[in-house]
Amino acid sequence: MDFDLDETDLAWRDATREWVDKKYPKSRAREIEASDELFPQQLWDDLSEAGYHGVGIPEEYGGQGGTVFTQAIAARELTRNLGGLIAIWLAPAVGGTLTLLAAATEEQKKELLPKMATGEIKFAIAITEPGGGTDLLGGMRSTARLDGDEWVINGQKMWSTGAGHADYLMVLARNIGDDGESKGTNLIMVPANSKGLDKRHIPKLGVRSLASYEVFMDDVRVPAENIVGPRGKGWKGIAAGLNADKVLLSACSTGILDGVLEDALRYLSEREAFGKTIDHFQVLQHKVVDIAAWRHTAELVSRHAAWLLAKGKPCEMEATMAKMICSEYAVQAADIGLQLLGGLGYSAETDMQRYWRDARLWKIAPITSEMSRNFIAGKLGMPRGF
């Protein structure tokens, strides 16, 4: 088993690190987040110009090519500085690109993917519902019924990140058959400016400058051809991106660990107390070593999961484990990092508090650590625990 970085991977890693350090150092990421803007358009445009939106999209559809392994390398390097702002790149990549590649018709791919690769159009995911949460399908109340050559959609969605500036929402709703009965789910591309569609901004603890929305749909009508995948089989299109989502979030969490470790090492080597720099104190050294060990573990499990997925090998359990392990370590590390910086760590003028607030989300979304454990327990042959 060899999932190490080859020369091409190393060059890609170094180029991404150089780009983000030059264009978006941590100080600029702090400024963006402090601005509380609802969508950092300049960041989107710069990612577009650099070609990052095209990573993972085959060249035949106007993309840069590459696999989820390639994307994971970029995710880690970008997150090291951007923290939760990585969602501006991650959400469209998972909810738009991967879903279309897995379930769209050839005509849809040829029409949309080239525009996504250049950043010309934006997708946002509208899947979760107020009463659903982790019980996504069991709690789904949104419906889509076919009326002539149009879908009529009604319902409510939560946590649709980027919906306020998206061109399309990727909406999952119950498929209502001609007999009025619910039969599976439909995945439908809904233009964000559709009549009957309204959005409400949800203030958040972290990732503040990339807004998430509650979405309301009241008899929203969209063309019948906007369905992605077969009627009644919408979940299949979404499921295709779930493992990739977990893999990429594990890489993002590893990027958080990178940022926390380098900030902690720098601060301890500069801060003086009791006549010497505080990196001389054993109790603090041990905390930093813990962070380094967690980072090493995260690197291994996230890279392994990305390698499996890129090779087309079964990886549901590995991807879930990677997301669970890496997100939990990232939160632990950021919390310790904040403690190491003392009062300064609590200041919005440092990045440690930003890492802590942003990483905390990834223990919850897109699947909680608790549900991750339930899923893994099932894979190990244990009975359903919920």
pLDDT tens figures, 62-87: 999 999 999 999 999 999 999 999 99
Check if the beta carbon of residue 127 is closer than 8 Å to that of residue 91: no
pLDDT at 1: 64
Q: Where in the chain is the domain with CATH 1.10.540.10?
A: 7-122
CA–CA separation, 361 and 166 (whole Å) = 22
Task: Tell me which fold the domain 236-379 belongs to.
Answer: Butyryl-CoA Dehydrogenase, subunit A; domain 3 (1.20.140)
pLDDT at 265: 98
pLDDT at 294: 98
CA–CA separation, 337 and 284 (whole Å) = 10
**Residue 126 CB partners (closer than 8 Å, separation 6+):** 157, 160, 163, 169, 170, 171, 172, 190, 215
Q: Interior CA angle at 239 toward 138 and 376, to 5°?
A: 75
CA–CA separation, 162 and 39 (whole Å) = 7
Q: Which of 32, 12, 28 is nearest to 77 (CA)?
A: 12
What are the C-alpha distances in Å from 384 to residues 291, 364, 366, 375?
34, 20, 20, 9
Check if the beta carbon of residue 74 is closer than 8 Å to that of residue 47: no
Q: Using 70 as the pLDDT threshold, list the residues of the chain that sit under it.
A: 1
Ramachandran region of residue 350, left (φ > 0), alpha (ψ -120 to 50) or beta?
A: beta
pLDDT tens figures, 182-197: 999 999 999 999 999 9
Q: Which CATH architecture has domain 124-232?
A: Beta Barrel (2.40)
pLDDT at 98: 86
pLDDT at 111: 97
CA–CA separation, 263 and 325 (whole Å) = 21
CATH number of the domain located at residue range(s) 7-122 in this protein = 1.10.540.10
